[in-house]
Amino acid sequence: MKKIIIAGAALLILAGCYNDKYNKLYPLPASTTCDTTTITYAADIAPIISANCYSPGNGCHDAAGSSTSGYNYQTSISVLQGNATSGALLTDINFTPTRGHNNMPKNGTQLSACDIEKITRWVNEGTPNN
């Protein structure tokens, strides 16, 4: 009986001393950071708008779709800036349930948190055309 107790105690001590690198055994998931330190229309905002607002097959805010939506973002940044400064753009992309606003992209999934953060930063900076 003593041998079993001693063997059990030794096993517990050895198991408690197991010291592999914890971060190697259990790595943290790769973090996805959203860099909003410098937002420009050309590099950050235009690609989001292009992919989600007037991409092929979506066409809500291109020349053809503007007859229905009333807004053509493809050729005129000023129309997008007007919707941004009025608050409509942020309300729509945040899926805020407000009368007279629609969740955008229409019939699509909400933009990523990073894309929303970039657009919000751009709006808060005064919607520069840079």
Q: So what's the pLDDT on residue 99? A: 75
Residue 120, both tokens? 């919000």
Residue 41 pLDDT grade (very low, low, confident, very high; cuts 50, 70, 90)? very high
Helix 46-53 × helix 113-124 angle, to 10° = 120
* Spatial separation of the C-alpha atoms in residues 27 and 116, rounded to whole Å: 28
Residue 18 has pLDDT above 60, yes or no: no
Q: So what's the pLDDT on residue 54? A: 79
Residue 119 pLDDT grade (very low, low, confident, very high; cuts 50, 70, 90)? very high
